[in-house]
Structure 1
Amino acid sequence: MHSHEVTRRSFLRQASWAGAALFFAPRAFARPIQQPGIEPNTAAPADRLQQFRTAGATTPIQVTKLRDTLFLLQGVGGNMVAQTGPDGKLLIDSSAATAASRLKDTLGTLGPHPMKLLVNTHWHFDHTDGNAALHDNSGAFIMAHENTRNRMATAQEIAFFHLKLPPSPTSALPQETFIDKEKLFINNDEIDLVYMPDAHTDTDIYIHFVGGNVLHCGDVFFNGFYPFIDASTGGTVNGMIRGADACLAVADDKTKVVPGHGPLGDKDALQKYRDMLATVATSIEKLKSGGQSLDQVIAAKPTAGFDADWGKGALKPEQFVELVYTTL
């Protein structure tokens, strides 16, 4: 591989995480960590959705072939997976509304088949903002867990970000929902949709392409950095661990494991992530059950052994400790 190709791919990977950085930027956290000599960013949290959409209008979409008919798409917001075939195209998650035309063009390069089905991994806007455009302009039928439709259909608040969101338009809402699991047979593959309760939110599912051996874990899996857990809409660290276990149970050593954010992973990467979550949660639970306050637990630095590997994202170790502490 030529060096300029490596540089370009590195750039695209960084660009593909721009939406995640906007959503998970530390400035809007409940307990902002201010560095000496640096003024805290006072931009209104309400601008976050607009910033995300602004990035969506310009961020390129990187395509990585996973299997003959399965492709990883990384643009603004959460990672997407597209399946192509004679039954039509299936897409997991929808990026930003402003990325819809670029997304349509990108999908067009993967084959001539029309867009048929959109599946949402959960309700957060960095995974669902493009729903209406894909439904209205490309004819996508939308599926998700029933809680995703319920969340999207009503006003929501993500308290950790001081972020309030209005209901989504009707055309963005899932048209078919399920409670525990759903099995589809599309383009000569079995596709299992399975609910993971009280994990990143109370709306999370994984999507397993059984024949293609590709697993999209949604935001139950953040590959390479500490994850956000949305306590305002039912997220818990123990649910995240159970969700990771559920994903591990259907993966093997050849499974392409797609995280909600971060680079493509495999079973080993998912296992390391799960073990990090479990170790940190156990340490914090012991401190909390021993009567230590949040400030005391943060001061104890229970993530110190993992920070070098997992503390490189927008979520700082102190903020991750708060998320775990408050959801135990």
Structure 2
Amino acid sequence: MNDANADMRAIRQDVLGGPEVLREVRVPRPVPGVGEVLIRVRAAGVNPTDWKHRALKGLFLPEPPFVLGWDVSGVVEAVGVGVALFKPGDEVFGMLPYPHGHGSHAEYVTGPARAFARKPASIDHVQAGALPLAALTAWQVLVDTADLRAGQRVLVHAAAGGVGHLAVQIAKARGAYVIGTASAGKHGFLRELGVDEAIDYRETDVFEAVRDVDVVLDPIGGEHALRSLRTLRPGGIAVCILRVGPEFAAEAERLGVRAEAPIVEADHAGMNAIAGLVESGELRATVADTFPLAEAAKAHALGETGRTAGKLVLTVD
């Protein structure tokens, strides 16, 4: 099956630009290297980092051409030398190493075996493909970085978004009190997720209304991240998932709080923890819409509106 002469469909871009630069092309099928698996992709999430890298110069990737995509759910097709975790036929899901391991918006992709975990049997590939990058981001922020514990108060900005709606569920699973921000029309969705207190950021100054939280998850950055620091109790922590300037740490030090801006990492243990939460019924991705691989440009265009609740997923036949 792993024919060196075989090819596959992929969504590639040769220049930076709008969704229209994304094209379906045929490229050589990759071959798994040492410690790698070859996965037949069944579904792959689309995240804000995808459309930002598609359009903007100066992010993590070099100039195109490239195939985007970090989320993947699929079936192991072949394994490289030294892989013992998985065998051909295993259903797995995970995040390719961020940022330089991209390429899941294709029929096949290779990645380190330990970037993946077994797909929970209770969900399909679309659900599984929606989870990895966003769920790992939320897990690494709340658990690895903030050490969120039962009884603590956490503020999740953009709580109906891809990362936000998963962060809410992870925080509730850990016994936290969750305050979530979203427009009023999404408050019903937040209540379904388990948010204890929903705030309409359009009508309320969140930074005046919220005080003494232990943890803030900020996916917005800039001045928004700086103002988030003011909602923390002494010793609390704000975690921004975008790149921030030195003023973020400086203002945190002045206020007597902590500030971190980690980048999501491929994580076998984290994926296993996420799979466990899925199996226990405590975590589920809300899929706003799905698109066949060939319509990746439509997914990008919809994602860029900022109006979706949950995740967008590409499906691969």
* TM-score band w.r.t. shorter chain: 0.3 to 0.5
Q: Greater helix percent: which structure?
A: 1
With normalisation by structure 1, the TM-score equals 0.31
- The structure where strand makes up a greater share of residues is 2
